[in-house]
Amino acid sequence: VNDYRLARRASALPATLPESTIPAEIDPGTICFDSGFAFPPLFPDLSGFAAKVLTDGRDEALQYSNAQGRTGLRGWIADRMNDDGCRLGADDILITNGAKNGIDLVCRLLLDEGDTIVVTAPTYFTAIPIFRSFGVELLEVAQDEHGMRVDRLAERLASMRAQREPLPKFIYNVPDFHNPSGLTMPLERRRALVALAAEYNVPLVEDAPYRRVRFEGDDVASLKALDTDGRVIHLGTFSKLIAPGLRVGWIASEQALVSRLMRLKCDGGTSALLQGIVYDFCRSDAFDAHVQRVRDTYRQHRDTMIAALRRDLPGVEFLVPEGGYYVWLTLPAGIDADEVAAKAGGAGVQVLPGSKFFANVGTAVDAGRYLRLSYSYSTPRQISAGIGKLAGVLGMLAPGALSIY
């Protein structure tokens, strides 16, 4: 065994390769409620756009991209965000390799070892190891049905200031159809969060991959639209609306930060070919109809899952998400969600236990009572069957618990 001298951020990482997490590589009989994968029948036919980009646009498509990303695509993104209440130009946008790349870049921009950042409890679990790799402390703030408890954060910031502790370097949040809890933060709470960030001069990182995947109700102003002094760094992506395999996303921020983020993004630029395909598809007549189809299809998936949960799991609590990919279940007291997830996997239904979504497991009260179910990837028939199987597992682990309420 080689005795490598690994960096601190790598030394705790496993030396063995993980099992595949690609649903298609798992047993085809398995029902996958555990991933944020898109529903394959929703992928648009991009072949015509690709052919055109590779012929008429070949010289640009096969060249290194402009480091900030293709100008036309940046302008299109800025225009759409302006339709949504922002005030941005193409130069306020940096194209990234998806939102995860955006998270990593923002960390590179703002974090030093020993810093503190704020996340919700629970939070987007893939971001946790990214944050940890920068050697920072994660300060968890509880949520209620309106998302992050801004009042609790205000108390915490006041106490940090009173104790002369260094303030958090940023506040990370997913205000629309939160992953994993499915919650959407109402306008008043958003205003309070933006005002609090201004009072303490802490940047707000708004991660909004599901923003356009809304099934009903009106859009709530994004944090970026409420931002009057450039404190919000907004992360967007085409993963949830078009296809995650494209790996095209963006950061919207003030130019002084975009300029630095661009220099920290040392990967030779996001693929010019893929940016070209995305841009041509977005400005084609097919785009609006595609967005509508995405919303209608995931609404149907959500409705099927909610109906099955009400039918088969009456003792389990949840809020109905107005968009996005996830339902967050609270199990009856006394049932261990990690055990449920393990047993459900054995019964052919993959689910994620809530404990994965808490940055500091052990300090979070009740982290073991939650399950995250994703309705994006499975067909309605699989969704219905999968909830039935999950009910079978819960019924075995805690007979009677499902009819308590």
- Residues that bind ligand PLP in the complex, under the rule CB under 6 A: 36, 98-100, 124, 174, 179, 207, 209, 237, 239, 244, 249
Q: How far is the CB of 199 from ligand PLP (least distance, A)?
A: 26
Angle of helix 272-282 versus helix 47-55 axis, rounded to 10:
120
Helices (H), 283-353: 286-312, 337-346
* Identity of the residue, 182 or 332, whose beta carbon is nearer to ligand PLP in the bound complex: 182
Considering beta carbons, is residue 57 or 236 the nearer one to ligand PLP?
236
Query: Rounded distance, CA 237 to CA 27, Å?
Result: 29
Rank residues 99 and 394 by Cβ distance to ligand PLP and give the closer one. 99
Q: Are strands 116-121 and 137-144 parallel, antiparallel or unpaired?
A: parallel
Task: Specify the 3-state DSSP secondary structure of 207.
Answer: strand
Least distance from C-beta 87 to ligand PLP, angstroms? 24
* 3-state secondary structure at position 37: coil
Closest distance between ligand PLP and the C-beta of residue 398, in Å? 30
Select 68 or 179, whichever has its Cβ closest to ligand PLP: 179
State the minimum distance, in angstroms, from the CB of residue 128 to ligand PLP.
Answer: 11
**What contacts 20, CB < 8 A, 6 or more positions away?**
26
Say if residue 117 is exposed, middle or buried (CB neighbours under 10 Å; 0-12, 13-18, 19+). Answer: buried
| Greatest alpha-carbon span in the chain | 66
Contact (CB, 8 A) for 330 and 370: yes
* Nearer residue to ligand PLP within complex by CB, 181 or 355: 181
CB of 232 to ligand PLP, least distance (A): 16
Nearer to ligand PLP, 168 or 244 (CB): 244
Of 103, 36, 139, the residue nearest 352 (C-alpha): 36
The residue number whose beta carbon is nearest to ligand PLP equals 98
Min dist. Cβ of residue 100 to ligand PLP (A): 4
> Minimal distance in Å, beta carbon 392 to ligand PLP?
28
Q: Which is nearer to ligand PLP, 68 or 239 (CB)?
A: 239
Q: Are 236 and 282 in contact (CB under 8 A)?
A: no
